[in-house]
């Protein structure tokens, strides 16, 4: 074991590399009315047109700079709440309700962002469109009949690096002892390149999903039995993914807001892969099971998030009170994680 003093100052003030797809909302959050979100200090308004297609524009009316998200979606345009100017999905002003006959429509335009709705989430590309990545990371399990999803929203007053480090440091099972998520983690190996860090741990899992009723282990403690499983966690910039044995897959989809605020979606999948009998049933029935069990791990996931957020926010506060103080880190995965964050910003 070695002791590494982490130079926290630089990491806690890092921006984001905008040339990636970020997750700004759940699909279910965007209905017929505009919704305002913030991705790294940029206010963005999201809305659906009559075909259900999602659009993302700068959340700023070109007339007097108020937020468009206070307005309404009318005939596939977004109508500002203040004087009723309307903007189309390209960010062009297409109507002013009180335009006089001798006046022309103002030639103003606001920024439009590439946006994709995929696997239950809205993915947005805030970077340079010349470097547009063709596909977001995606969650292949979202639509797959063999996986049951649970989503928990993380909203913390802390820099995103604290959240990623929390998710990559499996030695913090200690914090969650009462929820029995995993135990006895031990780091075995790390692989890293310019886009990701994969940390391989061994651990003990409390859950074994090998019979249909085993899903009730998510609810009842006394059905759980500790057994060894590989625990792999990956920082796939800017998001996070992990697997615990064959039965669980968890993602964390990031929407960093500022140096001291982060939103993220934690998505937990319980696998039904072991139930080969279930796979022979009609598709509609399998979909019914998947949909009825949506959120089965909600209590567990929300409980874990609450405990983690408390620690993460306290770390941020301590940093703000005394940015010179160093951490003493024993987990070398965190050194790799910080290296990746730095190199994505060109500081590598």
Q: Contact at 8 Å (CB) between 19 and 42?
A: no
Q: Does 82 bind ligand FES (CB under 6 A)?
A: yes
Q: Contact at 8 Å (CB) between 306 and 178?
A: no
- Name the binder of 319 from ligand FES, Fe ion, none, CB < 5-8 A by kind: none
Q: Does 61 bind ligand FES (CB under 6 A)?
A: yes
Binder of ligand FES out of 21, 22, 47, 85 (CB under 6 A): 85
Residue 116 is encoded by which pair of tokens? 């994709």
Closest to ligand FES by CB, 110 vs 167, is 110
Closest to Fe ion by CB, 148 vs 181, is 181
Give the CB-side neighbour count of residue 185, counting CA atoms within 13 A: 26
Of 79, 112, 113, give the one whose Cα is nearest residue 94: 79
Q: Residue 170 and residue 229: Cα distance in Å, rounded? A: 13
Q: Which stretch binds ligand FES (CB under 6 A): 82-90, 100-108, 110-118, 332-340?
A: 82-90
Q: Residue 255 and residue 252: Cα distance in Å, rounded? A: 10
Binder of Fe ion out of 308, 319, 329, 341 (CB under 5 A): 308
Least distance to Fe ion, CB of residue 166, Å:
6
Q: Does 165 bind Fe ion (CB under 5 A)?
A: no
Q: Does 63 bind ligand FES (CB under 6 A)?
A: yes
- Name the binder of 63 from Fe ion, ligand FES, none, CB < 5-8 A by kind: ligand FES
Q: Does 64 bind ligand FES (CB under 6 A)?
A: yes
Tell which phi-psi region holds residue 148, choosing left (phi > 0), alpha (psi between -120 and 50) or beta.
Answer: beta
Least distance to Fe ion, CB of residue 200, Å:
18
Q: Does 315 bind Fe ion (CB under 5 A)?
A: no
Closest to ligand FES by CB, 64 vs 325, is 64
3-state helix, strand, coil in the chain (%, to 5): 25, 35, 40
Binder of ligand FES out of 11, 57, 78, 80 (CB under 6 A): 80
Q: Residue 205 and residue 199: Cα distance in Å, rounded? A: 17
Q: How many CB atoms lie within 10 A of CB 67?
A: 17
| DSSP-based three-state secondary structure for 252 | strand
- Name the binder of 188 from ligand FES, Fe ion, none, CB < 5-8 A by kind: none
**Residues binding Fe ion: number (CB under 5 A):** 1
Q: Residue 105 and residue 121: Cα distance in Å, rounded? A: 35
Q: Contact at 8 Å (CB) between 112 and 55?
A: yes
Closest to ligand FES by CB, 82 vs 171, is 82
Q: Residue 182 and residue 167: Cα distance in Å, rounded? A: 13
Closest to Fe ion by CB, 115 vs 264, is 264
**Residues binding ligand FES: number (CB under 6 A):** 9
CA torsion angle for 9, 15, 17, 18 (degrees, to 10)? 170
Pairing verdict, β 196-205 and 182-192: antiparallel
| DSSP-based three-state secondary structure for 28 | helix
- Name the binder of 308 from ligand FES, Fe ion, none, CB < 5-8 A by kind: Fe ion
Q: Does 188 bind ligand FES (CB under 6 A)?
A: no
Q: Which stretch binds ligand FES (CB under 6 A): 21-29, 81-89, 145-153, 300-308?
A: 81-89
Closest to ligand FES by CB, 85 vs 319, is 85
- Name the binder of 83 from Fe ion, ligand FES, none, CB < 5-8 A by kind: ligand FES
Q: How many CB atoms lie within 10 A of CB 27?
A: 16
Name the site residues for Fe ion (rule: CB under 5 A).
308
Site residues, ligand FES (CB under 6 A): 61, 63-64, 66, 80, 82-85
């Amino acid at each position: 074991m070695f002791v590494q003093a982490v130079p926290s100052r630089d990491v806690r003030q890092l921006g984001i590399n905008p040339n990636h797809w970020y997750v700004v909302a759940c699909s279910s959050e965007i209905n017929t009315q505009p919704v305002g979100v913030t991705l790294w200090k940029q206010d963005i308004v999201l809305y659906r047109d009559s075909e259900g297609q999602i659009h993302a524009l700068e959340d700023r009316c070109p007339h007097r700079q108020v937020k468009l998200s206070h307005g309404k979606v009318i005939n596939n345009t977004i109508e500002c709440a203040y004087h009723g100017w309307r903007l189309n999905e390209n960010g062009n002003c297409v109507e002013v309700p009180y335009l006089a006959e001798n006046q022309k429509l103002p030639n103003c335009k606001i920024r439009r962002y590439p946006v994709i709705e995929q696997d239950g989430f809205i993915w947005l590309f805030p970077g340079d469109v010349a470097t547009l990545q063709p596909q977001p990371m995606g969650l292949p399990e979202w639509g797959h009949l063999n996986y049951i999803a649970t989503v928990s929203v993380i909203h913390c007053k802390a820099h995103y690096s604290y959240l990623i480090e929390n998710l990559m440091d499996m030695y913090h099972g200690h914090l969650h002892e009462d929820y029995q998520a995993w135990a006895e983690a031990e780091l075995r190996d790390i692989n890293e390149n310019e886009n990701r860090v994969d940390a391989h741990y061994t651990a003990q899992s409390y859950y074994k999903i090998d019979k249909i009723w085993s899903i009730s282990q998510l609810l009842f403690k006394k059905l759980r039995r500790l057994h060894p499983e590989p625990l792999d966690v990956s920082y796939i910039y800017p998001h996070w993914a992990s697997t615990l044995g064959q039965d669980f897959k968890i993602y964390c989809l990031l929407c960093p807001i500022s140096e001291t605020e982060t939103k993220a979606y934690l998505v937990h999948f319980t696998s039904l892969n072991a139930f080969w009998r279930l796979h022979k049933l009609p598709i509609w029935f399998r979909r019914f099971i998947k949909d009825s069990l949506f959120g089965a791990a909600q209590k567990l996931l929300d409980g874990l998030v609450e405990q983690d957020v408390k620690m993460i926010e306290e770390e941020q506060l301590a940093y703000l009170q005394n940015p010179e103080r160093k951490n003493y880190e024993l987990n070398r995965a965190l050194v790799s994680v910080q290296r990746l964050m730095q190199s994505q910003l060109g500081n590598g």
